[in-house]
Amino acid sequence: MNIILPLRFLLTTVLLAVAPLTTAAQQDTVRLTLDEALELARVNSPNFLVARNDEATADWEVREAYGSLLPFASVGGGISWQGPGEQRFGSVTLAQDHPAYYLSNYDVGVTYQLDGSRLLEPAAARARRDVTTAQIRAAAVNLKAAVTQAYLELLRRNEDATLTRQQLERSRFNLRLAQGQQAVGTVTQLDVRQAEVQVGRAEVSLLQANNAINTARLRLLQQIGLEGDRPVTLTTSFRLEEPAWSSDTLLVLAMDHNPDLAAGTAAVKVSDTQVKQARSAYLPSLSARAGLIGFTRQATNTESLITQAQASASGQVGQCVNVNEIYSRLANPLPTLDCSAFGFTDAQRNAIISRNASFPFGFTRQPLSVSLSLSLPLFQGLARERQVEAAKVQREDANLQVRAQRIAITADLTIALRTVSTAFQTATLEARNRSVADNQLRLAGERYRVGAISFIDLVDAETVKAEADQAYVNSVHAYHDAVTELEAVVGTDLR
């Protein structure tokens, strides 16, 4: 592995981060390769980071889908207060003049539910994650294309400025030549004025070219995801090479690497799983639960409880006395009962007070409860049938979209490859035209020195030369732009 690029990237990142804190005069020019620009964009571009953040959500959806296959556990509790008064249950009076109560409870339960849709959810979540992954790859491909085009645009603007400076130098040389020939009487003052106009026009063109450089640099920094302005020197060069790619080979690469097609294929898998989930509504579902419940109930005043206990004990004593009375009147009297055993004692009083001191954590636990149920749906008003048909239609739509994407990729690839070939041939022709224009300008300059042509003819040759140079630069960059678009269609690097 080459460690030079990571080190340079780290240094470039530090310089670009520190650059906004300094003035324009103090900023150091940062040398930036295309690979470093792409790496910076993957780290800083907000739009790309928005797309990449979806990966964490998709991963958690998969974990959640597997977690839904496990039992659910819950723990709950609460406290409440019940005021004094008559206690009724429906039309039955349970107690009169009962005191206020403090109540607390807890509930610990484990629940497990299982059905066909829940079983298939992990597969659906994995397919949705594949869609998200493909969308992130598509965002990365689009980011690469945008940064590369911005990088090429800044290179083109730099070359435009170089051509403009060369034109300015030639215009100034022609001005000096015209002034020298005027001094010896070969040309008139009109030629000098025309040369001065050409210098002025070249200066305006250079001013506009410098402004175009600043604009292209800011656009490149925007694509990278960096704020502010800073001087940048681009160090990656692009060679003009005759395209040797085969359309069949590129088509195979595109079918394997195009992220949009990968996202569509993953969407088909999602639709397949959704059809299976819809059909699983005909299958039985299982539900199980096990739980523990505890509660406390404490009266705010124990006097009423004691009074009730005393009244109950008195009733039992009276009943015992009556029984003894009956026993004594029998022909053969029975032994009498000891009615004092039913009397209310201090021990009972203390027990009532002790049992009442249970709020909030003196729980009385109920027995463990376990339940298991199995449900088989028979008829649900054709809702399941509608859901199955809707899922089938969605699957068919996904398949049609993939087919449309394949057709589009084939067409786009063919068009892009032909565009690259045309751009290369155009650049080759423009290179020849530039060479011819250069020879024509050289010849025009020599003829103007000897007075064989006018200054207007020399200016015409200058114009042809400038147009040929600009056309060549534009054709070269059009070729690289076409290659960038071809890479975006294929979904992988070709240079």
Give the DSSP H or E segment for 233: strand 232-234
Beta strands 92-98 and 30-32, pairing class: unpaired
Bridging pattern class, strands 85-89 and 92-98: antiparallel
Q: Specify whether the CB–CB gap between 52 and 58 falls below 8 A.
A: no
How many Å apart are CA 206 and CA 194, to the nearest integer? 18
DSSP per-residue string spanning 284-337: -EEEEEEEEEEEEEEES-SHHHHHHHHHHHHHHHHHHHHHHHHHHTSSSPPPPP
In tens digits, the chain (495 residues) has pLDDT values of: 344 444 454 445 544 544 443 444 345 678 899 999 999 999 999 999 999 999 999 999 999 999 999 999 999 999 998 887 666 655 555 555 678 888 899 999 999 999 989 999 999 999 999 999 999 999 999 999 999 999 999 999 999 999 999 999 989 988 998 888 888 887 788 888 988 999 999 999 999 999 999 999 999 999 999 888 889 999 998 989 999 899 999 999 999 999 999 999 999 999 999 999 999 989 899 999 999 999 888 888 787 778 888 888 888 888 888 888 888 887 788 888 888 888 888 888 888 888 888 888 888 888 889 999 999 888 888 888 999 999 999 999 999 999 999 999 999 999 999 999 999 999 999 999 999 999 999 999 889 888 888 888 888 898 899 999 999 999 999 999 999 999 999 999 887
Going through 337-462 in order, the beta strands assigned E by DSSP cover 364-365, 369-375
CA distance 304 to 328: 36
Query: Tokens standing for 182?
Result: 């005027």
CATH number 1.20.1600.10 given to 34-67+121-283+383-490: yes
The residue with tokens 């096990």 is 290
Beta bridge partners of 409: none
Which whole-number Å values give the CA distances from 182 to 178, 187, 198, 201, in the listed order?
6, 5, 17, 22
State the alpha helices, DSSP H only, in 184-281.
189-224, 247-257, 259-279
First to last CA, the chain: 19
pLDDT at residue 16, as a whole number: 53
CA 184 to chain centre: 75
Q: pLDDT at position 88, please?
A: 60
Q: Retrieve residue 143's tokens.
A: 């980011």
Question: Which residues face 104 on adjacent strands?
Answer: 79, 296
Q: Which residues contact 6 (CB under 8 A, 6 or more apart)?
A: none
* Buried/exposed code over 320-342 (b: 16+ C-beta within 10 A; e: otherwise): beeebeeeeeeeeeeeeeebeeb
Which structure tokens are listed for 198? 């050409």
Neighbouring residues of 264: CB distance < 8 A, sequence distance ≥ 6: 398, 401, 402, 405
By the 8 A CB rule, do 130 and 455 touch? no
Q: Where are the domains of the chain?
A: 34-67+121-283+383-490, 72-114+285-375
Q: How far apart are CA 135 and CA 129, in angstroms?
A: 10
Q: Residue type at 112?
A: Y
Phi, psi at residue 382, to the nearest 5°?
65, 15
What is the DSSP pairing of strand 364-365 with strand 101-114? unpaired
Cβ-in-10-Å burial (0-12, 13-18, 19+) of 153 comes to buried
SS3 30: strand
Q: How far is CA 486 from CA 6, 61, 415, 421, 493, in A?
A: 28, 35, 9, 11, 9
pLDDT of residue 301: 79
Among the listed residues 111, 122, 216, the one whose alpha carbon sits nearest the alpha carbon of residue 161: 216
| pLDDT for the residue 22 | 40
Sign of CA dihedral 450, 452, 455, 459: negative
Single-letter amino acid code for the residue at 270: V
Spatial separation of the C-alpha atoms in residues 63 and 121, rounded to whole Å: 11
**Does this model's pTM top 0.85?**
no
- Cβ atoms of 444 and 482 within 8 Å: the answer is no
Give per-residue burial for 270-279: e unless 16+ CB within 10 Å, then b: bbbbbbbbbb
What is the C-alpha R_g of the chain?
Answer: 46
C-alpha distance from residue 423 to each of 403, 427, 481, 486 (Å): 30, 6, 9, 12
